[in-house]
Structure 1
Amino acid sequence: MRRFFLLQIPDSETFTLPEEESKHIIRVLRYENGDRFLLLDGKGLIVTAEVTDAHPKKCVVKVVSKEVKTRTKPGFHLAIAPTKNLDRMEWMVEKIVEIGATKLTFLNCERSERVQLKLDRLQRVAISAMKQAQHDFLLEIEELQNFPEFVANNPKGGIAHCMEGDKKPVNQLDHPFRILIGPEGDFSESELKLALKHGYEAVHLGESRLRTETAGMVACVLAINS
């Protein structure tokens, strides 16, 4: 069955869908009374709904069944400095959702190219990718946070950087659930020292020097499969 996202699914046997979803389901997809689909809230609730009033602006559905799922695998948290070109971040969000990341935080670093960020577009990309990949949970996207406060409040994990020094492969990390990726100009030495002080370990993502958004996707793949 086709999947649709609804941030708040009413706790009732019948309810009316918002106008935007009603229009898409009835006018675009041409659903009729009796047709069924899945509604997800991105937090594990999956509702099988049936159209009872195929109104193009106020589609009414009844609940056929409900299922609540829980995560069966450890989550992965990517913290990354956003690129100046937001399209590159949209591409990365799509890919890490498909791979299975659970949380994304944007970092304001000393050499960051972007210090302001609107999450609306990225949230829409994440929702679309969740439905496409048939995942039950939506990627949690956090607002831009200053690097020092983030590592202090979220200790332990891996920090990928381009400076010289000993680095572990991601699959040898004691805490592979969180990886930090810096801006195109890399983390500063003071940021690296601060992260190490808070329990982070230096990691490498392979032999190639990667662009920021590629590094985010590769880190996700390596951590989830470690």
Structure 2
Amino acid sequence: MQSLGHLRPQGTVLLKRPWLIKPLNLRAVSSIPPYEYSNQSRGGLPRFFSETLPSSKGGVILVQGDEFWHMTKVLRLKTDDRVELFNGRGGLVEGFIQNIDRTAINFVALEDPKFVLPHTPQWHIFSAFGSLKGGRADWLVEKCTELGASSVTPLLTERSSTISDNRVERLQRVILAAAKQCQRLHEMKLNHPMKIKKLIPLVAKSKQSFMTIAEATPLVSALTSTTKEPTGLIIVGPEGDFTEKEVNLITEAGATAVGLGPHRLRVETATIAILATLTLWSDSQQITNS
């Protein structure tokens, strides 16, 4: 699946001269002790996005734009404060602020960059949230990021047929902010909106696909009867649900229809409910198989 070009904070520049500096008396922003990089949820330092990371210990990059503003104007960080930079592709490096001017800071790496592989569960969300209003789509995308979804695709259906370009741009900013907040090292992909007819081949090729439908077999029952790997597609319909024709097309392609309880759920509630359940199930599968 092709992903939209990310809206990156502007102005992160790699300086060509790698200075090997051993600073003294660095002021740590957080008192939390150093953590294992394999556990992304235990970071103790402020973390910021940078498209480019220093190539080695002592390397210096220039941080400008949105992240510079966040560092200096929001958090009011100062010279010698320790921070982390991540690139959204598994790269992470700890360093410190060497100096600050009016438009940029110099970040000096205190170590070689570390790279963490993605977690095994790979859940791809196809949700018809284009018609949601009042920040509900933002909330859906934010929580999908926090719960570890690999990608989110706005699904275009008969009852939710459009999504504005402005909204897509905003959602990409929400994803980046959520990735920083939850200390996720691999940024979730926001794919181009997709129509049902283009979803069908993906369902046919996927080893496992779940589609939420009212009064279908409960999700937990469907999970306990399967031994498939914890990866696949999650398909959630729009307000008013899928049409009968759409349901038939998706199930005939190989998707399993699952229910999420006796009540009618909003699109964002259904999306997060099934993703959270499958995420917990994936974790239990990994523990069982380890």
Q: Normalising by the residue count of structure 1, what TM-score does the alignment of the two structures yield?
A: 0.89
Residues paired across the two proteins, number: 224
Indicate the SS of the match to 1:167. Answer: coil
Q: Extract unaligned runs of 5+ from structure 2.
A: 1-44, 282-290
CA shift for structure 1 position 150: 1.6
Contact 1:5 1:40 in 2 (8 A): yes
CA deviation after TM superposition for structure 1 residue 89, in Å: 0.7
Q: CA RMSD in A?
A: 2.1
Q: Is the 8 A contact 1:17 1:60 kept in 2?
A: yes
What is the aligned partner in structure 1 of residue 175 from structure 2? 126
Q: Which has the higher contact order (CA 8 A, sep 6+)?
A: 1
Which of the numbers 34, 39, 43 marks the counterpart of 2:80?
A: 34
Determine if contact 2:127/2:271 at 8 Å carries over to the other structure.
Answer: yes
Are the structure 2 counterparts of residues 67 and 119 from structure 1 closer, same or farther at C-alpha, using a change threshold of 3 Å?
same
Residues 4 and 39, structure 1, Cα contact 8 Å, conserved in 2: yes
Partner of 1:59: 105
Describe the superposition over 1:43-100 as per-residue Cα deviations: whole angstroms up to 9, x where unpaired: 1101212211212312111122211001233121111001423411101112222222
Distance 1:144 1:27, change over 3 A: same
Distance in 1 of aligned mates of 2:199 and 2:245: 14
Counterparts of 2:54 and 2:197, CA distance in 1: 40
Please state how far the C-alpha of 1:200 moved relative to its aligned partner. 0.7
Residues 198 and 131 of structure 1: CA distance in aligned 2, closer, same or farther (over 3 Å)? same
Q: Which has the higher strand share?
A: 1
Greater Cα offset, 23-32 or 100-109? 23-32
Larger Rg: 2
Is residue 2:267 matched to residue 1:212? yes
Alignment correspondent of 1:6: 50
Give the fraction of aligned pairs with identical amino acids, expressed as a percent.
Answer: 29
Kindly indicate whether the alpha-carbon contact (under 8 Å) linking 2:86 and 2:185 is maintained by their aligned counterparts in 1.
yes
Q: Does 1:97 align with 2:149?
A: no
TM superposition outliers: structure 1 runs of 4+ over 6 Å: none
Bigger mean CA offset, 5-14 vs 117-126:
5-14
Contact residue 83 and residue 184 of structure 1 kept, 8 A = no
- 8 Å CA contact 1:148–1:191 kept in 2: the answer is no
Provide, for residues 157-211 of structure 1, a one-character-per-residue CA deviation record: whole Å limited to 9, x for no partner: 011123x6x5352524547632100111211112111112221111111222101
TM-score using structure 2 length:
0.71
Are the aligned partners of 2:63 and 2:106 in contact in 1 as well (CA < 8 Å)? yes
Q: What's 1:158 paired with?
A: 210
Question: How do residues 167-206 of structure 1 correspond to structure 2 at under 5 angstroms?
Answer: 167-170=217-220, 171-172=223-224, 174=228, 177-206=232-261
Give the partner amino acid of 1:4.
F
Secondary structure of 1:190's partner?
A: helix
Check the 8 A contact 1:46/1:67 in 2, yes or no.
yes
Structure-2 separation of matches of 1:197 and 1:109: 17
Distance 1:8 1:190, change over 3 A: farther
